[in-house]
Amino acid sequence: MRKPRFAARPGDDPVPRRRTARRSGMRLVVVIVVALIGCSSREDACPGQITLYCSAEQRGLRCDYEPDGRPSMCECNGGTWTCTDCPGREFPADACAAGATCAVWGFEDSCACSCDASGKWSCSIDDPNPNFHCSF
């Protein structure tokens, strides 16, 4: 016969002790999980406002904002944020409605984009820089 996991005193019923031990063990697990969740920093979450740099944990993260009252999306790539206010909060790549305009901005430079009569985006850098070009 196997010895009970929690030995009972002679004459005691071991079942209630097992239940109590299991419950207290579960309480400990719940307390540890809650403490870990509460104490961990969420660097992979969208910041309250966009700063210049983003962390490695935020790489690829897309966040919606409304700076100056215009809907915008910012994406963390390569340690810095790149933002756009283009339609659909997407970078200008697909077909567009003729006459639409938007901007893409990031680390040090920004691009002004417009949709031509054939429905294609055309972007140009606001301040020419040999190390930066408007390609998305």
Cβ contact 121:115 at 8 Å = yes
Report pLDDT for 30.
40
Q: In order along the chain (136 residues), what is the average pLDDT of each group of 10 residues?
A: 53 56 49 35 73 90 88 91 91 91 87 94 82 71
Report pLDDT for 18.
55
Cβ contact 104:86 at 8 Å = yes
Cβ contact 104:92 at 8 Å = yes
Q: Per DSSP, what are the bridge partners of residue 41? A: none
**Closest by CA position to 89, among listed 50, 51, 62:** 62
Report pLDDT for 69.
82
3-state secondary structure of 35: helix
Residue with tokens 């339609």: 87
Residues 99, 50, 70, CA angle at the centre, nearest 5°? Answer: 30
**Closest by CA position to 124, among listed 98, 90, 116, 114:** 114
